[in-house]
Chain A
């Protein structure tokens, strides 16, 4: 795979009046990466994308594409192509004219454009559809035309602003795979904006988790899922059960926290926070639903939690047990379905067990809204 052109954000600040949309962002995106900005709506991820594409000037800091400072260079002069959230296909142009708009600007002949359009239509699996109008295509087809139009400009960096959000679930899942395939085929850098952690995890080489203008963590999907830096990252990416407490004792990479209701629990300190947490600090422990197992009744210790079962549901691949933890907080437990028989625990107290390395400890902080 070709090296591609990287993108760097250096101490990037973007303000709108008094409102800080992006706060001191530092990101290095490697050439040829599929990089996602993941965060809830309004966290500033689209603002970053517009700063990269040139529609917005940073208030402070720099945007570098391939090592070149982009300050003062307009969107039409940058080696980027943006796929808009609503796609922004030109409604009065036929599909092939849409796709080759960038060539028309450069003065290519109609025959050249036609030829290139046919190649790209083959690539996006819409052969022969060039003479339709965008309004005559389905949502997924329009999506692919937008990608082809952006690729036709031969950008070094392709920017995608939640392009799948308007599609239905089935199509969205299909397009994820397709986007990833296209990215690997063309080998250019993709910067992808999404609030859907599933999209981010399945497609990305690296993910930046954003919260209210701040980038909490930049890492690959596995790391973000298993080793979050902050309470926000832990609660936003995937489902997680949270236990609040105070650090009682630090033991190397592990620590024991004292919770109000579940007693003392031991967890692994997340990598970024190792050596930074002290006794007496407020902390949050996160355990994934699938990291729990049902322990024999009466078992106690620093990796056991007792809880009363509120209700249970069968989801197919997993069996979910919703319990009321001791803080009144709901704990979700997912037991994988191997075809074993499930016993109904509703109304009973059960003991849950986890392995210490599956519980992650981070400093107490803001949680993602449900």
Chain B
């Protein structure tokens, strides 16, 4: 009883936790397919792929992606190289200095990215000027500065990843290679580098992602080469469209794809290793019987399902035309808007009649009733300000000024908001009717 309660609450907790983690992503992804001009899930209007098309026609976004990819590649090369050098140095350095060295090399992770961005900019600008180069030199190029700036701290991340692997390296392996006649370069290339390969791959992926999503360092250094994050931030400032959701959806889909691919590959290696273990010597020499690709590999199955789903979606997107639906929705909207206008008008008419009725009863004979009539043509021309008009229009109408406590709360000194305030009084129609 108690036990089952615990189990249920764990499940509930898990559901809530994953909703918290993945909910925003799901909602954002869904908004990419809604034809509503503002990214939202409800009310659902039409299934559309137009935002993807819009995304791929947005030159600024495409240019941002291109810059991000170039800068990402540069950062990967520089950061992994610096990280590997730093990690190797850590194993070589005099043991007493090791802790100090480690602290220094880790420090950039703790320094705010903004500071790194500014200091990169200032530092290289100084060097640029010292060398007497112009503003268009390589040293003040946005790509160069961004790669350098991002690498200052991404290299530290890479080093952490590489050090973890390097700690498991037996230096005797290098010595063995040297002893067997290899030069230091050969020992590095043939023994250490292959050993480090998985960690180098991890570090490269990490460096690329860190570079791709970086904003606060890049914002100081990008110069003439805004990255995707910079472009997005600038776009959001002027309001967002579902094409940004579309971009997010593509990134999420790519992430899922590569995660599944990696998982399938790992599982595959595991299965192959297990098969090797059971294989006899003869089998090993030539044709080892490997398990088929999908056997016992859940991730591979999911990967294929995912790929098929993607192809289906893309196929549907090319064939699918939401024009009819959108037209319907438009029509629907128009109808709704008209209906609303009608209702408002009716409401106002009723109010007017009621007030007129009241006035007639109280101030009979004081004013000409024709004065009070607000121009009905004006109301039709400006349906949006209609409410306003009725709200203040009658209050500040000249006849109301003389009127009773009922509507006298509004001080006459306060300047009336909107033209509606005077609209009724100086309306040409009312003047006309005065005649």
Residues of chain A touching chain B, judged by Cβ–Cβ distance below 8 Å, are 53-55, 74-76, 80-82, 84, 86, 88, 90-92, 101-102, 104-106, 128-133, 136, 149-150, 153
Q: Are B178 and A74 in contact (CB under 8 A)?
A: yes
- Which residues of A sit under 8 angstroms from B285, Cβ to Cβ? 128, 130-131
Give 26 pairs: A residue, B residue, CB < 8 Å, sorted on A: A53-B179, A55-B178, A55-B179, A75-B175, A76-B178, A76-B181, A76-B182, A76-B183, A80-B179, A81-B179, A81-B180, A91-B173, A91-B195, A92-B194, A101-B180, A101-B182, A101-B190, A104-B190, A105-B182, A105-B186, A128-B281, A128-B282, A132-B281, A136-B277, A149-B180, A153-B181
A6-B182 Cα distance, complex, nearest whole Å: 24
Q: Closest chain B residue to A100 by CB distance?
A: B180
Distance A105 CA – B172 CA, assembled complex (angstroms): 18
Please indicate the chain A residues that have their CB under 8 angstroms from the CB of B179 in the complex. 53-55, 75-76, 80-82
Whole-angstrom distance between the Cβ of B295 and the nearest chain A Cβ = 22
The closest CB in chain B to the CB of A85 belongs to: B172
A55 contact set on B, CB distance < 8 A: 175, 178-179
Residues in B whose Cβ lies below 8 Å from that of A102: 180-181
Measured between beta carbons, the chain B residues less than 8 angstroms from A150 are 180
CB distance from A225 to the nearest CB of B (A): 33
Q: Is the interface of A mostly helix, strand, loop or mixed?
A: loop
Chain B, Cβ-Cβ closest to A133: B276
Closest 3 CB pairs of A and B: A88-B172, A88-B176, A102-B180
Residue B77 lies at the interface, judged by CB distance under 8 Å to chain A: no
**From B175, which residue of chain A is reached at the shortest CB distance?**
A55
Let me know if A82 and B195 touch, CB within 8 A: no
A131 to chain B, nearest CB (A): 4
**Which residues of the partner chain A approach B180 to less than 8 Å between Cβ atoms?**
76, 81, 101-102, 105, 149-150, 153
How many contacts between A and B, using CB within 8 angstroms? 68
- CB proximity of B249 to chain A, nearest CB, Å: 40
Residues in B162-202 with C-beta less than 8 Å from chain A: 170, 172-173, 175-183, 186, 190-191, 194-195
In the complex, the chain A residue whose C-beta lies closest to that of B186 is: A105
Task: Give A162 Cβ to nearest chain B Cβ, in Å.
Answer: 13
- Chain B, interface residues (CB within 8 Å), range: 20 to 34
When distances are taken between beta carbons in the complex, the residues of chain A under 8 Å from B194 are: 92
- Report which residue of A75, A91, A129 has the largest number of chain B beta carbons within 10 angstroms of its beta carbon: A75
CA distance A84 to B178 in the complex (A): 12
Q: Which residue of chain A lies nearest to B173 when distances are taken between CB atoms in the complex?
A: A88
Cα of A153 to Cα of B178 in the assembled complex, Å: 12
Instruction: Report the Cα distance A186→B370, complex, angstroms.
Output: 129
Q: How far is the CA of A90 from the CA of B282 in the complex (A)?
A: 23
Chain B residue at minimum C-beta to C-beta distance from A149: B180
Complex Cα–Cα for A193 and B295 (A):
50
User: What B residues does A104 contact at CB under 8 A?
Assistant: 190
The interface residues of chain A lying within 8 Å CB-to-CB of B276 are 132-133, 136
Q: How far is it, in angstroms, between the C-alpha of A110 and the C-alpha of B138 when the chains are bound?
A: 46
Hey, which chain A residues are within 8 Å of B277, CB to CB?
A: 136
List residues of B (135-185) whose CB comes within 8 Å of A's CBs.
170, 172-173, 175-183
- Min Cβ gap A76→B in Å is 5
Roughly how many angstroms separate A91 CA and B183 CA in the complex, as a whole number?
19
| CB of B16 within 8 Å of the partner chain | no
B115 at the interface (CB under 8 A from A): no
B284 lies within 8 A of chain A by Cβ: yes
Please, which residues of chain B bring their CB within 8 A of the CB of A131? 284-285
Measured between alpha carbons, how far is A269 from B354 in the docked complex, in Å? 140
User: Contacts of B282 on A, CB cut-off 8 Å?
Assistant: 128
Q: A88-B175, A153-B180 are in contact. List 19 more A-B contacts (CB 8 A).
A: A53-B179, A54-B179, A76-B179, A76-B183, A81-B180, A82-B176, A84-B172, A84-B175, A90-B173, A91-B173, A91-B195, A101-B182, A102-B180, A105-B181, A106-B181, A128-B281, A129-B281, A131-B284, A133-B276
